[in-house]
Amino acid sequence: MIDSLAWDPEMESPATIAILGAGPLGVEAALYARFLGYHVSIFETRRVAHRMLDWNLRPLEEPAGKITTSLGLSALQAQDPTYIPPEPSRIFNGKQYAEEYLLPLAKTDLLFDDIHFLSPVIDISRFRVASQPAAGRFDEYPWQERCNDEFRILVEGRHRGTWVSRADCIIDCRGNRSTRVGLGPAGGLAIGELEARKEFLEHLPGDRKFDAKKYDAKSILIAGSTQEACRTLRECLEYAGHERLVWVLPPVQSDEPEFLAKARMELAQRASPSFVMIDSLGVESITPQEQGSWQVRLLKEDDSSVELQVDRIVSRTEYQETPLGPTLLAYNPQASNFLESSLQQYDLSDHSQDKHLPRARDVLTPEPGYFRLRADSLWEIGLERLRTIFAILGGRSDLDLYEIMRKQQSTGPQDA
């Protein structure tokens, strides 16, 4: 499949695949790779499925049948013959999904030895090929040589110290919840924000690590207009432990997303002396005060400003992807254009029926052998992209282990 790339993306097992992040997608990608006979190393900054554990008692949007896979269930059954799979219609909460599916999977013999937790990857480069393609001469660049070169992965292990790992291929499953944009106008930083960030209150009512002592009877400012901000506000109002809650959100815009317009109207009806909504272009400055409180200046649309004194600041702005490895081509805009033009050539060939092609655009990066895997909030999309990555690596557009496993499960292994 996809034969128009400047390098051959196929990778025969036993090659080594490094997986960045042990969230639901990282665990699933590792499993898929192991079933295909690849060597796998999984690196996780914190612990397996910690975001799902943080999602805590909130129900997940998709039922068990959509967020568990035939591969995962058969690995769990192979490990423990008494394991009973969940009903496909069951709605897990984040904690149950982590504790009943993801963590047991991580503990199976298939994955256990390959997971490095408390081990953030801090840099990735190539070992030998240091050159970058010259502008306008992408066709002449030694892409295949670059592809054959191993990746050098720098890991900052909490237990082992800083060490280097090697891999032939990377699947980046770091999720999209790494760095938030700033609290200032249009996502810029407010004056004093970087220094203040380490003191921001992260865990609110409903979160696994919520600490009532840091929240109850306090004056709390929540800034942001994301879905997460709206959900957080509803949960805080329900919990009602605060003295005063201030929601800082942008002025109404004509292209405002529906969820925000709805939350704005619904929450405005709950306004009271203890819950205030302030339209603002963003936070202009944050200044620490005595006894741990903060002086916050908000910029209004007419260039005037509003000063507030609060005990806690909460950021619920958008997340932005953090690039990893400045020498990699994964985030190079010119190399991305080159990749796109290669894919367009493939489009025009006889293979336009290839179902993986649209998804290949989502997972391929211009760094040969570096794939990006995100679910974009729909689990099914994540799994489709995962199949595409391994179809590309295996050079078989019909490769679908989930389907093979489902058939085996319905006919019994002896008939497959």
Ligand X SMILES: Cc1cc2nc3c(=O)[nH]c(=O)nc-3n(C[C@H](O)[C@H](O)[C@H](O)COP(=O)(O)OP(=O)(O)OC[C@H]3O[C@@H](n4cnc5c(N)ncnc54)[C@H](O)[C@@H]3O)c2cc1C
Residues that bind ligand X (CB under 6 A): 20-26, 43-46, 50-52, 54-55, 60-61, 94, 120-121, 173-175, 177-178, 228, 374-375, 377
DSSP letter (8 states) at residue 110: T
Which three-class secondary structure state does DSSP give residue 373? coil
Q: Give the Cα separation of 34 and 57 in Å (integer).
A: 31
Tokens standing for 267? 């929450």
Structure tokens at 368: 């040969």
For residue 315, list its beta bridge partners: 223
Residue 125 near residue 150, CB atoms below 8 Å? no
Q: Among residues 1 and 106, whose Cβ is nearest to ligand X? A: 106
Contact 157, 5 (CB under 8 A): no
CB-based burial of residue 157 (10 Å sphere; 0-12 exposed, 13-18 middle, 19+ buried)?
A: middle
Of 94 and 133, nearer to ligand X (C-beta) is 94
Q: At what angle do helices 70-79 and 24-35 cross, to 10 degrees?
A: 70
Please identify, using beta-carbon distances, which residue of 173 and 364 lies nearer to ligand X. Answer: 173
For ligand X, the closer of residues 51 and 264 by Cβ is 51
CB nearer to ligand X: pick between 115 and 281 = 115
> CB of residue 265 vs ligand X: minimum separation in angstroms?
21
Query: Nearest distance from residue 123's CB to ligand X, in Å?
Result: 9
Smallest gap from residue 82 Cβ to ligand X (A): 28
Q: Which is nearer to ligand X, 53 or 298 (CB)?
A: 53
Burial class (CB in 10 A: 0-12, 13-18, 19+), 351: middle
Smallest separation (angstroms) from ligand X to the CB of 356: 20
Residues 6 or more apart whose Cβ sits within 8 Å of residue 65: 88, 89
**Least gap, CB of 381 to ligand X (angstroms):** 11
Query: CB of residue 233 vs ligand X: minimum separation in angstroms?
Result: 13
* The CA-based dihedral angle spanning residues 263, 268, 270, 273, taken in that order and rounded to the nearest 10 degrees: 130
Query: To the nearest whole angstrom, how small is the minimum distance from the Cβ of residue 278 to ligand X?
Result: 23
Nearer to ligand X, 52 or 330 (CB): 52
